[in-house]
Structure formats: structure tokens, C-alpha cells
A and B are shown apart, each in its own frame.
Chain A
């Protein structure tokens, strides 16, 4: 048995076989269909769909808003994680549990709720309207929705890393005369940096593909407020399977790259953790 190392436990054949069969049927076969459908297109047609002005506009919005949302989460996610780890205040446990809400809440529900809150006459929208800030049905609304979706990823990545910052190092640095900012830059930031970047990438990856919570708050105007997943849906509704497959292929390649980045970042974080433990 070169495939696996010897082990007295039974059931490898059964569970491994079932797992690979399930994954092949449900994941590999359908993904092959997507790749082959995109590959069967003429190169000219593929480029025509993938680089059309409408597609380019949708990339700009999808990637721009996702990047901005992930950057907002990088800052506020760190602040929230810091608050939850370092301070004791009434309602802390409740807030901690609520962080996972965007994971558990269906995207369509958060979509209609956010749109209502940020619409012109909504609870928050009515105060932003006089300031000339329109959130709902603009790119700002898209960013708000993507920020909500990505928030738990940053907070949940940073929390365990912050717990590992050695408090005695901070105290020692402060006793030796280091300012708060210096301590942050030289002691706290290096420890949580891999976790912060992992959270950022996870939030970014999730936001790029997000559909349900965005389509309600985005205006869905071609070139302006149309995200790439919506453009795929529009191609499908016109029974343009090849066009949909071409755009889907582009997004799939990007998702693979980001998955790879996340794995590398996590490996980096683990390596640093091992080094600091020595």
C-alpha cells in the first residue's frame, strides 16, 4: 500500500472511496464542463466576451468595490477584534457572537435589509442624503454590502492572532520608554500581520463572487453598477451559455489564484508562529 501509511484503523477504502466519488461527481465533473465549454470557444469570441466594455466595467466595479470593502474591513476588523480581545465591557459576549451573523444570514435577506436602511428615506440613508452621499443604487452601496459580507473573515482571522501577542513584551517595551504607536508597529503588527492579510484576502475573495446581497443595493446599470456575477446571470438568461462560461472561467481562474494566495499566507503565518515559539 504505497498510497497510504499503515494504520490499524479500518474504513479507509470505504470513506476515501465515497469522498472521492462524491467530490468527482459534484465538483470535478461540473467544473470540467465549465472549462471545456469555455475552451470550445473560438479565441476571438472568447476575447470578445471577456474584454467587452460591459465586462470590463463589471470587473472594475467587482474588483474595485471588493478591494475597498476588504480594506475597510482591514481597519475596522482589526479595531473590532482588538476591542473583543483586550477590553471587558457589558455586551461583549453578545457582540462576539453577532460577528458571525453575516455567515449565517441568507444573502438575499441582508441584501433587502441593507437596501432599506441605506435608501433615501431609510434609517441611515436619510442622514446621508442631505450631505450629498447616495448609497443605495450606487457603487457606494455595493461597497457597503461587500463590507458586511467580508467583516467576519477579518475579525475571526485576527482574534486568535491577537490572543497570541505576548503582553509581557508590550509591558517590557513600555517600561523601556516605547510609545504606544512604537509598540503597535514593532510588537503587535508583526504578530498579527499574516492573520490580517489572510483575513483581507478571504474577505476580498468572498466579495468578488458575492451575488445575493449586492444585486438589491446595486442599481444594476450596465457599465456603472453591474457586478460580474450579475453579468453571468444576464448571459444565462439570454441562453448565451458560452458567454456565461467564458466569464465564469475568468472568475474561476481568479478564485484559484486567491485560494493559492490564502494557502501561502496561512503557511507563512504558521511558519512565523513556529519560529517565535522556539
Chain B
């Protein structure tokens, strides 16, 4: 090759390392700085506020806010509804992921779209559809009233609406995982004479257990924290049909900030726990296998 391009290339390389690394490190710090400021304002400040406000009048006032019977009843109601919703949705998630990941059938993508639907529609609409079915002026309203069954403004309505909003979580966690892991081991087990249940419990379940754990924990956090859908169907009867998020709204609107943020701090800790489990599950590397 000619000498001139060679020398300009040398010049270029010689002039480069310093200039390039200064420019790169400037870009690097700009990116990190912008990211941190954005997240600090939008995410960290609100998170810190929850605990600062909850403890604004000391530990004693914080603990005393849980002695309020209405708060205790909201806590109980949230736990009861999660105890019904989470196992049912886990069962659904397992069934749906087995049907979708293990078999090829017509209408599969329609089924997957249906499972994703609650994530795409407004929580208010998720509550509204059940009011239209079971409310006083709804489809079954008169029949339910004649038979003295209350669903809307009562526990069954809260459970049904929560179930609707949270049923995709376990299924969405398990379907891609099962698809990725394939059917080979299950087919081997069946061919060797194992029954369907034995195959499921000793081959499939151990393989997907971490995905299942995260799906269940996420489903639980969303079930306990659901606000919009439950707010539409619950009727806000204090001490009777108020779940924790609804009770937060009432306390906040009554300017009882310590009480509101104390209840909020419990749900925040639940969210933090969910993220810790997610991080641990990802560390086991189940996604990368």
C-alpha cells in the first residue's frame, strides 16, 4: 500500500486513544447522571416519602395506626381475598401453561390474547364489567336480590374483580418458560410408563419451580395492591368492604397521613419483597437455561 494513507492512519490512531476516552467518559457520565436524576425524582423520592411520612410522628404513632379497628379489618379483608385468589389463579396458570406450552392446537394465539387481556384494559373497566353483571341494575341483579345474594359491595365481588385483574401473572410467567424447556423429558417419562400426574409432579414441576414461585409472588402482590377494579365493586363500606389500598385512600382523604402512609408502607415492603424474590429467581438462571 502507499505510504501516505499508512501515515495518516498512524496519526489517526495516535491521536485517538486520549480524545476518544475523554469523549466516551463524558458520554458515560452524562448517561449515568441523567438516568440517576430521572429515577431519583420519579422513583426514589416517592419511595422514601412513604417511610418518612409514615414515621413523621414517631414509631409509636406508626404502630398505633395499626391498632385502629378499621385498619385491622382492611388488613384482614385483603388477606382473605388474596388467600382465595392466589391459589385459584395458580391453578389456572398451571393448567393454561400446560395446555398452551405442551400442545399445538387451533386458536392458540386467540387464547393467549385472552389471557393477556386484563393487562391491557383499564382496572376501572375490569370492575365495571362485574357491576354490569351482578349490580342492582345489572343482568343478574334482580335474581340475586330475590335470592338474597350480594356480590357487588361485598366480599365475593372483591374476590372476583381481583381474580380478573391478576389471573394472567402466573400463566404469563410459566408459558414462555415451559415452551423454552420443551417436551423431551415429559415424553420420555410417559414413554417409560409414568402416569400424567407423576410426570407433572416429578418432571415438569421441579423444572419450572422458580418461575412458578415468582409468578405466585407477583400475583399475590398485585392481588393485595389492586385499587381501581376493587374500588368500583367494593362500595367503600368502612370496616366492612375496605381493602388495604381503599383504606389508604380514605385515610389520605381524611388528612390522616401517618395512618395512610403506615398502611402504604406495608404494601411497599411487600413490593420490595416481590422484587427481591424476582432478583433471586433470576440469579438461579432459570431464564438462561
Q: Which of B195-217 contact A (CB under 8 A)?
A: 195-196, 199-200
Q: Does A27 contact B (CB under 8 A)?
A: yes
Complex interface bits, A199-230 against B, C-beta within 8 A gives 1, otherwise 0: 00000010011111000100000000000011
Is B96 located at the chain interface by the 8 A CB criterion?
yes
- Complex contacts, A86 vs chain B, CB 8 Å: 31
Q: Is the CB of B99 within 8 A of A259?
A: no
Q: Which residues of B contact A15 (CB under 8 A)?
A: 94-96, 98-99
Kindly list 18 other residue pairs between chains A and B, CB separation below 8 angstroms, not including A209-B121, A255-B121.
A4-B106, A15-B94, A16-B99, A20-B111, A33-B132, A76-B34, A76-B35, A80-B38, A106-B225, A109-B50, A112-B264, A208-B122, A216-B249, A229-B125, A232-B128, A244-B128, A248-B129, A263-B113
Q: Is B104 an interface residue (CB 8 A)?
A: yes
User: Residues of A contacting B34 with CB < 8 Å?
Assistant: 76, 79, 83
Asked whether A100 and B275 contact (CB < 8 A) given A80-B38, A108-B225, A255-B121, the answer is yes
Which of A23, A83, A106: most chain B Cβ within 10 A?
A: A106
Interface residues of B (CB under 8 A from A): 23, 27-28, 31-32, 34-36, 38-39, 41-47, 49-50, 53, 91-92, 94-96, 98-100, 102-106, 111, 113-118, 120-125, 128-133, 135-139, 160, 163-164, 167, 183, 186-187, 190-191, 195-196, 199-200, 218, 221-222, 224-228, 231-232, 244-246, 248-249, 252, 257, 260-261, 264, 267-268, 270-272, 274-276, 278-279
Partner of B103, one of A7, A23, A33, A103: A7
Q: Mask for A67-94, Cβ within 8 A of B = 1, else 0?
A: 0000000001001101110110100010
CA distance A98 to B42 in the complex (A): 12
User: 6 pairs across A/B with beta carbons < 8 Å?
Assistant: A7-B103, A9-B103, A11-B99, A209-B123, A211-B124, A232-B122
Q: Tell me the A213-270 residues at the B interface (CB within 8 Å).
A: 216, 229-230, 232-233, 236, 239, 241, 244-245, 248, 251-252, 255-256, 258-259, 263
Nearest CB of B to A161, in Å: 16
Grouping DSSP codes into helix (H, G, I), strand (E, B) and loop, the B interface class, with mixed when no group exceeds half, is helix
**Given A30-B129, A76-B38, A109:B264 Cβ within 8 A:** yes
Q: Which residues of B contact A28 (CB under 8 A)?
A: 114
Q: How far is the CA of A33 from the CA of B187 in the complex (A)?
A: 42
Q: Report if A198 contacts B (CB, 8 A).
A: no
Known: A8-B187, A101-B271, A109-B264. A216 touches B39 (CB 8 A): no
> Which A residues touch B92, using CB under 8 A?
18-19, 22
Q: A106: which of B120, B200, B267 is its contact (CB, 8 Å)?
A: B267
Asked whether, in the complex, the Cβ of B267 is within 8 Å of the Cβ of A105, the reply is: yes
Instruction: Give the chain A neighbours of B221 by CB distance below 8 A.
Output: 104
Assembly CA distance A263 to B113 (angstroms):
9
A-B complex: 7 closest residue pairs judged by Cβ atoms: A106-B225, A209-B122, A113-B46, A212-B227, A30-B129, A4-B105, A211-B228
Report the separation of the CA atoms of residues A4 and B118 in the bound assembly, to the nearest whole angstrom.
Answer: 27
The CB with the most chain B CB atoms within 10 A, among A29, A34, A144, A256, is that of A34
Give the segment of A42-50, A116-124, A186-194 that binds chain B.
A116-124
A3 at the interface (CB under 8 A from B): yes
Contacts of A8 in B (CB 8 A): 187, 190-191
Cα distance, A54 to B99, chains bound together (Å)? 46
Contact partner of A107 (CB less than 8 A), chosen from B53, B99, B228, B257, is B228
Task: Give Cα A95 to B47, complex, Å.
Answer: 13
* A85 to B: closest C-beta gap in Å: 10
Q: How far is the CA of A212 from the CA of B226 in the complex (A)?
A: 9
Q: Which residue of A lies closest to B23 (CB)?
A: A180
The answer to whether A147 and B42 touch (CB under 8 A), given A100-B275, A233-B124, is yes
Q: Are B122 and A26 in contact (CB under 8 A)?
A: no
Q: Are A16 and B105 in contact (CB under 8 A)?
A: yes
A14 interfacial by beta-carbon distance below 8 Å: yes
